[in-house]
Amino acid sequence: MKFRSKAVVIKLSVSDILKSKKFYEEILNFKTDNRYTLNSDGNYGTASFIQLYLGDKYEKSFMLGLYKDIETPFNPLPETGTVPSFIVENIQSTLDYLRIHEVVIDEIDGVIINTNTSDEGYMDRFFFFRDPDNNSLVVRENILK
């Protein structure tokens, strides 16, 4: 038997569920799947969980779980870890959109939009941004050689 999965839920640590929910819904266009909401103490305290999805409600292939398990945003910023990636058609317009909403954009050695080229010549452009808890996320635009 092979391992199979219908979808993946990426868990993100958050310090304020409602603040994070607002960020993901209003800026990144996620929607809440209320079936999986867990309000641990009636005030979204420790161990609370909200599951969000992106796209059509019947095709929930990209899901994030906001889990209240930290008291304050990460500080200093995390240097490694799991980074959910959003694939976009136009990386520059996505960057402009996030800047309008005052989202924190990371620079790597003074560069915002970075480029990698695979061993086979496949180019990938990307940049990193942060949610209210300094969880790192990436936007990628793939460019064929």
Question: What CATH code is carried by the domain that includes residue 63?
Answer: 3.10.180.10
Q: How far apart are CA 7 and CA 4, in angstroms?
A: 9
Q: How far is CA 41 from the centre of its chain?
A: 26
On whether both 47 and 98 belong to a single domain, the answer is: no
Structure tokens at 99: 């800047």
Q: How far apart are CA 118 and CA 133, in angstroms?
A: 32
| Cis ω for the linkage preceding 78 (within 30 of 0) | no
On whether both 95 and 137 belong to a single domain, the answer is: yes
Establish if 92 belongs to a structural domain.
yes
* Single pTM value for the model: 0.83
Establish if 93 belongs to a structural domain.
yes
- Per the structure, the complete domain to which residue 137 belongs is given by 85-143
Establish if 75 belongs to a structural domain.
no
How many independent structural domains does the chain possess?
A: 2
3 vs 87 pLDDT, higher one: 87
pLDDT in tens, 14-70: 999 999 999 999 999 999 999 999 999 999 999 999 999 988 776 666 889 999 999
On whether both 29 and 64 belong to a single domain, the answer is: yes
